[in-house]
Structure 1
Amino acid sequence: MNSWIIRSGLLLALLASYWGVYQHGRSVERADAAAVAATRDSGDRLAEVLGERNARAEEQRRAQAQEEARANAHEERTISDAGAAGADAVGQRLHDEAGKLAATVSCPGTDTAAVARGQAATRAAMVLSDLLARADARAGELAKAYDRARIAGLACEASYNALTP
């Protein structure tokens, strides 16, 4: 009976050692899997942080480019307005000179036919002076509208180009 107990004890010790090796293998496998998962999670987090940083940098680049486009448009509008003011001043001087010329066209004299022709010429000169003034004013309005539309279009294009890499 003694040998049976010894054999049973050895068999039990053998089974216990196998069980221990098996459990050790499982714990090593779990530790390896946890290390792999930790490495993967760390890499994922790093990629996420780098992605966020790159997205913020791109957003800042776009915002800066749009701000530059807005500032350039404002500067161009200022230059355009100054040019329009200068053109208005020149136009006003031209109108004044045309009015003076129209007023001096009449021919003073004793010949009634010459006086009548002078009065007709004065009326024609006044009409032409008025027509010139209205045409010049309308041309100035159209030029201002064109400049504003062109500047707005260029600003829109620059803003769009800032959004595309």
Structure 2
Amino acid sequence: MKSWVIRCVLLLALLGSYWLTYQHGRAVERAEAAAASAQRDSGDRLAEVIGERTARQEEQRRAQAQEEARAHAQEERTIADVGAAGADAVGQRLRDEGAKLAATVSCPGTDTAAVTRGQAATRAAMVLSDLLTRADARAGELAKAYDRARIAGQTCEASYNALIN
């Protein structure tokens, strides 16, 4: 009977050692899984931080590029306004000279035919002077509109290029 008890005790000891080995293996496996999970989570957090930093840098780069485009457009508008003011001044001098010329194109004298021709020439000169005045004013308006449209288009293009590059 003692051998049977010894065998049972040895069997129980063997089973106990297998059970303890199994539990130890499970504990080691859980610890390795937890370490792998922690390492993966750490890598994910690092990638998220790097991604956010990169996105912020890209956003700042785009905002700076758009601000530079706006500043350049403002400089272009200023240059265009100065040029338009100069052209307006030259145009006004030209219109004044045309009006003076139209006023002086008369033919004083005693010959009625010459006086009639002089009056007709004066009217024609006044019509041409008025036509010149209107054409110059319209050309100025068109030039200003073209400058505004060109500057707006260039600003839009620069902003777009800043966004896609």
- Shorter-chain TM-score bucket reads over 0.9
Secondary structure in structure 2 of the residue aligned to 1:12: helix
How does 1:128-139 map onto structure 2 within 5 Å? 128-139=128-139
Name the CA distance, whole Å, in 2 between partners of 1:53 and 1:70.
Answer: 26
Q: Once the 2 structures are TM-superposed, how far is the Cα of residue 3 of structure 1 from its aligned partner?
A: 2.2
The residue type equivalent to 2:73 in the other structure is A
1:69 equivalent in structure 2: 69
Counting matched residue pairs gives 165
2:119 equivalent in structure 1: 119
* Aligned-residue CA RMSD (Å): 0.9
2:36 equivalent in structure 1: 36
| Percent of aligned positions that are identical | 83
Q: Once the 2 structures are TM-superposed, how far is the Cα of residue 33 of structure 1 from its aligned partner?
A: 1.0
The residue type equivalent to 2:26 in the other structure is R
* Residue 109 (structure 1) aligned with residue 112 (structure 2): no
Q: Once the 2 structures are TM-superposed, how far is the Cα of residue 154 of structure 1 from its aligned partner?
A: 0.6
Unaligned runs of 5+ in 2: none
2:91 equivalent in structure 1: 91
The residue type equivalent to 1:35 in the other structure is A
Q: Once the 2 structures are TM-superposed, how far is the Cα of residue 8 of structure 1 from its aligned partner?
A: 1.3
* Residue 155 (structure 1) aligned with residue 151 (structure 2): no
Q: Once the 2 structures are TM-superposed, how far is the Cα of residue 119 of structure 1 from its aligned partner?
A: 1.0
The residue type equivalent to 1:4 in the other structure is W
1:2 equivalent in structure 2: 2
Secondary structure in structure 1 of the residue aligned to 2:109: coil
Secondary structure in structure 1 of the residue aligned to 2:90: helix
1:16 equivalent in structure 2: 16
Q: Which aligned runs of 4 or more in structure 1 are off by greater than 4 angstroms?
A: none
2:48 equivalent in structure 1: 48
Unaligned runs of 5+ in 1: none
Q: Once the 2 structures are TM-superposed, how far is the Cα of residue 2 of structure 1 from its aligned partner?
A: 2.1
Q: Once the 2 structures are TM-superposed, how far is the Cα of residue 47 of structure 1 from its aligned partner?
A: 0.8
